[in-house]
Structure 1
Amino acid sequence: MPLYGTLGMTFMQVPFVPDPAQFSGDVLVTGVPYDMSTSGRPGARFGPQGVRAASANLIWEGARWPWNFALEEHLNVADTGNLLFRHGEPQTLVDNLTAHIDQVLASGAQALTFGGDHYITLPVLRAYAKKHGPVALVHFDAHTDTYSGGTQYDHGTLFYHAVKEGLVDTDHAIQVGIRTAYEHEDHPFEVLDAAWVNGHGPDATLERIKARIGDKPTYVSFDIDGLDPAVAPGTGTPVCGGLSIDTALKIIRGLQGANLVGMDVVEVAPAYDHAEVTSLAGATLALEYLYVLAANNGAGGCYLSR
């Protein structure tokens, strides 16, 4: 058994279905315990187990606030466990992950993937582009991850390669929460930096996001360091001045109506966490996304004070 391949519990205690070909439902969860592409502190290989464990705090609420329905009655979700690959051989991660997501999509489900460092999004997007063509992208992060000077396996270069490979439709891609340096000239994506989002709020942010992505198949990639380290310290490259969890949840919730086809939550590193708050944030963002999918399928809506 490869390192970190053992599954302790499933996300939200959904059924364990190790073979995607045996699943007939809506969403398959996969953990990717890989952090060999980090440039800062390692530890995101333990992110999948951290997010799954923290999800135990969310299972007792039948109809999660502010939604007016119970998720399990409207969305069929299962967990395929952790991806297997040869530790120390990153190319096996690349090959196995793309092949696995191919299987998930072939089953008719979409993928909800827990990293692991952000490099894992590149093999996932390769599978998505096979099915949908270049996808629209909503990317939450402190960093653009479009840097060209990294190594072959580098969590800071994945969107540079994704653009070069034609995996992302750059005319329908937007990055949210950015607060580190990048080359503004010829940058391939629209950027809503963290100061703009924090100053203008979720509604204005959603207006910009929805105008950008339109009705194209849209992939959501959430690097947990998009959140401020005051609320999400458990990550390898923390940057002050990020989003609050309230803002992030309102933005995810507000994606109702968008053509969402997949999501990942990456860079949760439990070793640097306090009281599981980062793992809980990752689990909650993922759960909110699932409620949005169910609402898009006609399950119901939100009870929100106006």
Structure 2
Amino acid sequence: MATPVTFAAPHAFLGARPDDRGAAVCVAGVPLDIGTTNRAGTRDGPRAIRAAARMLTDGRHPETGVDPTALDLSDLGEFEIALGDIPESLRLIEAQATGLNHLLAFGGEHGVTLPLLRALTRRIGGPVGLVHMDAHLDTSEDNFGQRFAHGSVFWHAITEGLVDPKRMIQVGIRAPAWPEMYAWTRGQGVTILSAQEVHESTPAAIAARVREVVGSGPAYLSFDIDALDPAFAPGTGTPEVGGLASWQAQGILRRLKGLDFRGADVVEVAPAYDTAEITALAAATMAWEYLCLTAPAA
């Protein structure tokens, strides 16, 4: 069967078959955005990412020749959430992620990572290393009094023992934060690479540092689209200037082949603020690059 032209591609991510929870790799949208602290709207992110992914269905990886559609891949659609109720939504997300072999999730706000990590670490029996690409630390104990806002996700993940902080690296950090947050985060053993450090280095060197920190154990990738500069990703709730270019993030990801990734998410795409679909396409591309890391060699 011939590959369909991009604008006639199936609406599922990369044309994946629907609703097979037993697939080796599952894709799911998690349209939760009631824990945002600035602009809401990431509930529409999963659909926007899928739509933009039509540009990625007509060829193999340009460097490795890998074809991520060769994976045993299923798109589960959107996870159910509880309207207006963050704790109940987190419970529902965790329940729906439980039992999946390998999940690539599309947010939604960054708070969705917490229940995904809960489900994953319960399945594999221990904490994971974390590659966290973001403008923000997300290690506040709470955000403006909200215990489960999107800026507190990794405080919970660390204190709950879901993540091994000595195997956790944050890449692209540049947003204003209290010194106490930096001190607490580093005090747990987390490695922080600022956006400026990325700019002054190379993707190869940053990827080498990521590999050094994460090591050979089970790992998780959490990619907040605001890791990218607003010039490349304006469609997000909390944009921060001075961020990574899309080519830098792509170059880093391409050099992480061989890490033992057990799951990933791409979050914080808010299409209402996007321009010409560039944020959604950047997110879809980062997800595609991730799948290429897990797909068999050409």
TM-score in terms of structure 2 length: 0.91
- Of residues 136, 157, 182, the one that matches 2:129 is 136
Alignment correspondent of 2:4: none
CA distance in 1, matches of 2:58, 2:226: 27
Aligned-pair distance for 1:64? 2.9
Which residue matches 1:114? 106
Matched residue SS, 2:105:
strand
- What is the aligned partner in structure 1 of residue 167 from structure 2? 172
- Normalised to the residue count of structure 1, the TM-score between the two structures is 0.88
Counterpart in the other structure of 2:280: 279
SS at match of 1:200: coil
Deviations 1:157-216 (A, max 9, x none): 010111111110011000000002243324231100000011101111011111100001
Q: 1:149: how far off?
A: 3.4
Give the superposition deviation at 1:243: 0.5
Name the counterpart of 1:304: none
Q: Which runs of 5+ in 2 are unaligned?
A: 1-9
Q: Give the partner amino acid of 1:172.
A: R
Distance 1:128 1:274 in 2: 34
1:160 corresponds in structure 2 to 155
Q: Compared with structure 1, are the counterparts of its residues 159 and 30 closer, same or farther at alpha carbon in structure 2 (3 Å cutoff)? A: same
Matches within 5 A, 1:109-258: 109-132=101-124, 133-150=126-143, 151-180=146-175, 181-182=177-178, 183-187=181-185, 188=188, 189-258=190-259
- How far residue 279 of structure 1 moved from its aligned partner, in angstroms, is 0.2
The 3 A distance-change label for structure 1 pair 254 and 276 is: same
In structure 2, the residue matched to 1:70 is: 67
Deviations 1:77-123 (A, max 9, x none): 1100000122122233111111111121xxxx200000000000001
Between the two proteins, the alignment pairs up a number of residues equal to 280
What code does the residue aligned with 2:148 have?
Answer: Y
Residue 96 (structure 2) pairs with residue 94 (structure 1)? no
Match of 1:53 among 41, 51, 54: 51
Q: What's the CA shift for 1:71?
A: 2.7
Q: Where do 5+ consecutive residues of structure 1 fail to align?
A: 1-7, 301-306
Q: Percent identity?
A: 43
Distance 1:166 1:56, change over 3 A: same
Cα distance in 1 between the residues matched to 2:220 and 2:31: 21
Aligned AA (2:123): K
Q: Secondary structure at the match of 1:184?
A: helix
Q: How far apart are the structure 2 equivalents of 1:268 and 1:69?
A: 26
Give the Cα separation in 2 of the matches to 1:102 and 1:69: 28
Q: Which moved more, 1:84-93 or 1:165-174?
A: 84-93
| Residue 11 (str. 1) matches residue 13 (str. 2) | yes
Q: Output the aligned Cα RMSD.
A: 1.3
2:66 and 2:119 mapped to 1: Cα distance?
32
Structure 1 window deviating more from structure 2 (250-259 vs 177-186): it is 177-186
Secondary structure in structure 1 of the residue aligned to 2:202: helix
**Following TM superposition, where does structure 1 have runs of at least 4 consecutive aligned residues deviating by more than 3 angstroms?**
none
SS of residue paired to 1:185: helix
Opposite residue 269 of structure 1, the aligned amino acid is A
Amino acid at match of 1:77: L
